[in-house]
Amino acid sequence: MSEKERFYAELVQVINRTLGRRAVTVERVRRTVNEAKRVKKMEGVPGLLAYATNLADRLFTPREAEMLKESPYKKAYTDRMIDLLVHEKILTPLQGRMLKRTVR
């Protein structure tokens, strides 16, 4: 299993454990990353930011989104997800650093 796949599996486990249900799967994370690539290619960074902003609303209830925001794992997994987006060339390193500062 690649490092990326291990991270996806860990991310899914933390999300599902935090929410107390099977809210996401590794395949769903993979599709979401691929969709982010497509959005960035077609609509640029503004489209990608709009996609990312609305993502939680599509995947989780408002209560669940709040639970994830309050999770002690939020910062670590957010930073790792941004690093993965940089690695996948969805974000540039500069955009990744800026996003990390914004999300905190």
Residue 73, pLDDT score:
87
Residue 75, pLDDT score:
87
CA-to-CA separations, 25 to 40, 45, 71, in angstroms, rounded: 23, 26, 19
C-alpha 63/C-alpha 69 separation (Å) is: 10
Residue 76, pLDDT score:
85
CA contacts within 13 A on the Cβ side of 17: 10
For 44-69, write each residue's pLDDT tens digit.
989 998 898 888 888 999 999 999 88
CB 86 within 8 A of CB 92: yes
Residues of the chain with pLDDT under 50: none
21 Cβ contact partners less than 8 Å away, ≥ 6 residues apart: none
Predicted model pTM: 0.82
